[in-house]
Amino acid sequence: MIAHYFTLKALAEDWNARFRDGILGDVYAQNKGELILAIGTKTADHALLVQTNPGRTGIFRVDGYNRAKRNVLTRFEQVIGQAMTEIKVADRDRFILISLENGWKIQLRLFGPHANVYLLNQEGVVVDAFKAPQKWINKPAPEMRPAEEVGTFTVFSERWQAASGSKTWVQQLRRTVPFMDELLSQEVFHRLGGSWHTAPNLASLFDTSQALLHELSDPKPCLYWEGDQLVAFSLIPLQHLAHLREEVFPTTDVAVRVYWRRFFAQYKFRRLFDPLHKALSAATEQLHHRTEQMLEELSRPSRAARYEKWAHLLMAQANTLPKGHTEMVLPDLFEPDHVEVVKLDACLTGVENAQYYYEKARKTRQARLYAAERWTETEVLATKATHLLLELTKLNTASAVEQFQLQYADHLAKLVGHQHMGQETLPFRRFMVSGYEVWVGRNARENDLLTFRHAQKHDLWLHARGVAGSHVLLRRQAKNRMPPKLVLEQTAAIAAYFSQARSSSLAPVIYTERKYVRKAKKGAPGAVLVEREQVLLVVPDLPANVP
């Protein structure tokens, strides 16, 4: 219900009052599928974050904005600096329209697989578009189609009959009444009570639907949680979700903002957790199955003793066994009144066949010893996988999963491989130092990637002074919080270790915030210019607490 017509309407009404006469200070994109409209008012700066990715379509407001210095694309430059005169939602359609003082409009389509943002001139012609601009420029804006009014029982009955091919009553109600989504349709049938297997009373269904839609005009927004999992956003309290924890908000603007922040945190967690949990579960099950099979094989009597027995029997009668036999029945000298049927190679003599079985017995014993070692190794690996799976199931945040991946990187790579880690495999070395993540480039190309693509501007950048070496990054947990001195010194020791100063008894290492490091003009890969650096004298080493 987060991109529902009534939700967008409530947001537009709030923002129209908040942003009237506000200045559109900037329009830019710095994340895939996200357009940011920066707005300045007399009292504060705000930003509207428009999400156009499939499955994550919506819009919410944040206080202030922080435009990155790199990898940012400015959009809709023609209207930057214009005052906003009105924000409204289209009549019974999920378009938000932002009118500007020069008569131009920004049209936001916030539904479907083709969600987009368009810049329109006074004639309603598209001047620019956030996605696929060449497809839209100089063409009419996407048509807005007001949903049909279903305000009378007669219209309701006709539409209900037309939707009779639906699989469920909930689906049929959704097709009958515009804006009646899955959540609201379930609420209608819950309020009606009765059986879900028999046809509902149409008059009661119509009255309950109309009453529910009327409630949406007076929002009382809330979020519903099951444990720590966000289940739903609703514009009004829902009786059929009363068994869940309900979190109520004073305004739709606040509720939507909290929803998206928690949604993205949960989305990132699931993106990291789910593939890793699935792969680790499969690996654990496979390893335990393999150990059971190997143990069953090891519990069977070894064939080595039998091969050796045959060799002894052949040697005892070697002089009487000429070539040409493929099988021989020999009296068992070890068990009287028993005989052994021995397969022979017709091209070999009795002695040569005995030697063959002696060698086969030796190899069988070696193979069994190797199998026992492999079983021990596999059992240890299965135990480790079980432990990791148990630890993983305890995690509930994306940052915890990332730290888990880093802490057990070697074990996870062996168990599930990098393709199941749920995130981009960074090409450089990574370490943990007392809970802080440290990245180390392994060559000039990786140094460039580490410093100028993956680093945040407030991360601490380190390098051994005056010698060739790796770029080293100490990831800061917050831009206003410096890592402890011991962590900084240990990271500096790592920087010295991965440099030509490794053999020195004491090495100087410079450090500064990443934002004070820039690429040298026409310099070789990895060559940089550094400002505001400080120096630490450390012993080149990998600290003992680094995994």
Q: Does the pLDDT value for residue 544 go beyond 60? A: no
User: For residue 54, what pLDDT band results from cuts at 50, 70 and 90?
Assistant: confident
Give per-residue pLDDT as tens, 268-314. Answer: 898 889 889 988 999 999 999 988 887 887 777 778 888 888 888 88
* Coil, helix or strand at residue 147: coil
Which residues, in sequence order, are CB contacts of 43 under 8 Å at separation 6+? none
- H helices present in 137-240, as ranges: 153-162, 169-176, 182-192, 202-215
Rounded CA separation 134/128 (Å):
8
Rounded CA separation 307/325 (Å):
18
Q: What is the pLDDT of residue 545?
A: 42
Q: What is the pLDDT of residue 334?
A: 83
Q: Does the pLDDT value for residue 397 go beyond 60? A: yes
Chain length of the chain: 547
How much is the average pLDDT of 519-535? Answer: 87
Point out the least confidently predicted range of 87-91, 92-96, 224-228, 322-326: 322-326
Number of H helices, E strands in the chain: 13, 23
Q: What is the pLDDT of residue 320?
A: 75
Q: What share of the chain is helix, strand, coil (3-state, %, to 5)?
A: 40, 25, 35
* Coil, helix or strand at residue 438: strand
Mean pLDDT over the full length of the chain: 89
Q: Does the pLDDT value for residue 543 go beyond 70? A: no
- H helices present in 394-540, as ranges: 398-407, 409-415, 444-449, 485-497
Q: Does the pLDDT value for residue 372 go beyond 80? A: yes
Closest by alpha carbon to 360, among 313, 312, 314, 307? 307
Q: Answer yes or no: pTM beyond 0.85.
A: no
In the chain, what percentage of residues exceed pLDDT 90? 52
Q: What is the pLDDT of residue 241?
A: 94
Q: Are 87 and 98 in contact (CB under 8 A)?
A: yes
Q: What is the pLDDT of residue 417?
A: 66
Q: How far is CA 466 from CA 20, 189, 292, 496, 500, in A?
A: 57, 74, 57, 11, 9
Q: What is the pLDDT of residue 203?
A: 94
Give per-residue pLDDT as tens, 329-369. Answer: 888 888 887 888 888 888 888 888 889 989 988 888 887 88
Q: What is the pLDDT of residue 370?
A: 80
Q: Higher-confidence residue: 97 or 267?
A: 97
Kindly report, as residue ranges, where domains of CATH 2.30.310.10 are found in the chain.
5-136
- Largest Cα span, the chain: 114
CATH number of the domain located at residue range(s) 5-136 in this protein: 2.30.310.10
Give per-residue pLDDT as tens, 133-156. Answer: 888 999 999 888 899 999 999 999
Q: What is the pLDDT of residue 454?
A: 85
Q: What is the pLDDT of residue 547?
A: 41
Q: Does the pLDDT value for residue 536 go beyond 90? A: yes
Checking DSSP bridges between strand 34-40 and strand 95-100, what pairing results, if any?
A: unpaired
Q: What is the pLDDT of residue 546?
A: 44
3-state secondary structure 274-331: HHHHHHHHHHHHHHHHHHHHHHHHHHCCCCHHHHHHHHHHHHHCHHHCCCCCCEEEEE
Closest by alpha carbon to 401, among 423, 429, 432? 423
Q: What is the pLDDT of residue 424?
A: 47
Give per-residue pLDDT as tens, 407-446. Answer: 888 788 778 865 555 444 566 888 878 778 899 998 888 8
Give per-residue pLDDT as tens, 165-183. Answer: 888 899 999 999 999 999 9
